[in-house]
Structure 1
Amino acid sequence: MRPFLERLALPEDASWATLNRRLDGEIPFQWHHHPEFELTMTLNSRGQRFIGDHIGSYDDGDLVLVGPNLPHSWCSAEKVEAAKPHVALVMWFLPQWTAPLGGVFTELRAVAAMLARAQTGLQFSAATASSARPLIEELFTLPPDERLIQLLLVLTLLSRDAEAEPLASPLALPAPDKPVDRGRIDRVLDHVHRHYAEKLTIEALADIAALSPSGLHRLFLRHTGQSVTSYLARLRIGAACALLSGGTRPIAMIADDVGYDSLANFNRQFKAQRSVTPRQYRQRFRMGG
């Protein structure tokens, strides 16, 4: 399935949309993008999130803001409480909707600044997510007028989070292009994100895009600002970081899990991107630094 441009239908009585998504099975990988900002709180679920060229692990209470047209997906691994469903509380609002925030409403300049930072995605700190959780859960019970006020309260709270972390690199921001090129790059990115741990060749990816290898290189560089090889390495090392921080699996096995058949090459690529070895990364993560 190729990534798709998700088109959201607004309710008649609101200028933005919400979804209280509850799944007994799993949160499936659905690589997609849309013109709206998306604020998602994930509850009773653990797994991986994919945002642009970012791969990271998520846990109960994860709160992320995704910028317009930034490809993304969540993919669950397990529930926290097996008897309860995976829950995603999702809020979508258009960039046009937020335009007056920093101009007309001076008091909301911090919110406008946060939304600008969210172009590459933002993960909020555990403390801020915990504070926002009751506000977000209550938001879904309110009538439309009160729901809007509650959303502004949530965004204001989030804008004060000095520990919010960017997720994707600026290179992952979507580039405006012709529709046919958008379809080609989407097909390639979908395949790369689904199969990054496998052996991928430029020739095979070029076939997916219906281009020559050189044509694929130009298209990929124009949309992502980097080569296919560099993008793939970022995905693999990002996935390795999630595995290193989330368990005790041996490093050699993690290297194999994310697509490296050479531990030495994995260590070299990891240090080039993170400035530490995989072992040092795991130790630093456990120490909270």
Structure 2
Amino acid sequence: MRSYLEKVPESEDGSFKVMNRRLHDGIPFSWHHHPEYELTLTLNSEGQRYVGDHVGDYGHADLVLLGPNLPHTWASNSRPDDEEPHQALVIWFEPEWIERITNEMSELSGVKKLFQRALAGLSFSDDARHRVVPKIRRFFQEDPLERLFTILRVLAELSEDEYAMQLAHDPVVLSSADGGNERIDRVLTLIHSEYSRALPLEELAETAALSVSGVHRLFQRHTGQTVSEYLKRIRIGDACAQLSGGDAPVSLIAHNVGYSALANFNRQFRAVKGMTPREYRARFRR
């Protein structure tokens, strides 16, 4: 269960990239991030959603908009219809494209604010999802020109959802100053792929080609958290997926996500989730 910098597939015939992902065996826990915005509609699937430091339950027709380089994953527990696969309809938007169209078209001022709010991730209300889910499903059957019209309508409607909920506590805010984009990306990629082992600041500093104090400042500036707090939340998120989706002993799960001492794992888990690992697992046992 590792994370990586996801390479979004190239689009051959449109202004955005799309994927219709169908999985019979479930959606696996797999931390990843990428420089594009992402709109994801998850169908016929139930489980947990992880966005930055957010961990929450999701169900059929879950709809979220994620900002660039915001770590995320889904981990399914079940599907309402056993005859159909878990399905994720994903649309990726280049930040430059969003910036260009929203700056040049005053009619899209609400959409510009929507993407600013999405930097920390947004989950949309039931009313908004009821309105746009049919349009998103139809979008995947349309030709490129109709897709453009449809997605602009969808984004305009979502921009009016005043009950959309911010997911992560802080966005990952990237800056081109001093190679900020490249440096923080290298650090995040290392953390997301190696979080189950000790990651001293010295190693992160070497990865970013900075001093220890420099990487500390870089990380806090871009994520709003210390490295230790960020690591804790990623590890606990992985533990949540393992607790809810299997029967491995708590001690083994603690070891798998990077805790050598079970007591420390239990303490950190309670600090993040407000309950013990066993209490958390009990929520998913019927």
Query: Taking structure 1 as reference, are residues 263 and 11 closer, same or farther at Cα in structure 2, changes over 3 Å only?
Result: closer
Q: CA deviation at 1:129?
A: 1.2
Structure 1 residues 107 and 19, CA, compared in 2 at 3 Å: closer, same or farther?
A: same
Number of the residue aligned with 1:250: none
Aligned positions, number: 260
Aligned to 2:271: 269
Give 1:278 shift: 5.6
1:231 and 2:230 matched: yes
Question: Offset at 1:174?
Answer: 4.7
Q: Secondary structure at the match of 2:76?
A: strand
2:16 matched to 1:16? yes
Q: Which runs of 5+ in 2 are unaligned?
A: 245-249, 280-286
Cα deviation for residue 147 of structure 1 reads 1.1
Distance 2:4 2:115 in 1: 24
What secondary structure, in the 3-state scheme, does the structure 2 residue paired with 1:38 have? strand
Tell whether 2:181 aligns with 1:182.
Answer: no
Could you tell me whether the CA contact under 8 Å between 1:175 and 1:222 is conserved in 2?
no
Bigger shift: residues 177-186 or 158-167: 177-186
Q: CA deviation at 1:98?
A: 1.9
Amino acid at match of 2:263: D
Offset from partner CA, 1:143-187 (integer Å, 9 cap, x none) = 111111010111111011001111122254456537466334312
Q: Report the 3-state secondary structure (helix = DSSP H, G, I; strand = E; otherwise coil) of the residue aligned with 1:261.
A: helix
Question: Per-residue deviation at 1:218?
Answer: 5.1
- 1:50 alignment partner in structure 2: 50
User: Hey, what does 2:218 align to over in structure 1?
Assistant: 222
Partner secondary structure for residue 148 of structure 1: helix
Rate the CA distance shift 1:162–1:23 in 2: closer, same or farther, 3 A. same
- The CA distance in 2 between the partners of 1:208 and 1:101, in whole Å, is 37
Structure 1 letter corresponding to 2:170: P
Question: What is the aligned partner in structure 1 of residue 130 from structure 2?
Answer: 130
Change (3 A) 1:174 1:11: same
1:174–1:3 CA distance, 2 compared to 1 (3 A): farther
* Equivalence map 1:22-37=2 (5 Å): 22-37=22-37
Q: Is the 8 A contact 1:124 1:161 kept in 2?
A: yes
Does structure 1 retain, via aligned residues, the 8 Å contact 2:29–2:75?
A: yes
- Mean CA deviation greater in 2-11 or 109-118: 2-11
Query: Which aligned pairs between 1:250-261 and structure 2 lie closer than 5 A?
Result: 261=263
1:69, distance to aligned residue in structure 2 (A): 2.3
Report SS of the residue matched to 2:70. Answer: coil
Task: Decide whether the 8 Å contact of 1:51 with 1:168 is kept in 2.
Answer: yes
Structure 1 residue identity aligned to 2:186? G
Counterpart-to-counterpart distance in 1, 2:153 and 2:68: 21
**Residue identity opposite 1:98 in structure 2:** I
The question of whether the paired residues in 2 share the 8 Å contact of 1:123 and 1:165 is answered with yes
Q: Does 1:97 align with 2:93?
A: no
- In the alignment, is the contact (CA less than 8 A) between 1:184 and 1:210 conserved in 2? no
Is 1:166 paired with 2:170?
no
In structure 1, what is the Cα distance between the partners aligned to 2:145 and 2:96? 19
Alignment pair present for 1:6 and 2:7: yes
List runs of 5+ in structure 1 lacking aligned partners: 247-252, 283-289
Tell me the CA shift for residue 227 of structure 1.
2.2
Which residue is 2:150 aligned to?
Answer: 150
Structure-2 change in CA distance of 1:71 and 1:216 (3 Å): farther
Could you tell me how far 1:226 is from its partner in structure 2? 2.4
% identical equivalent positions: 36
Distance 1:267 1:168, change over 3 A: closer
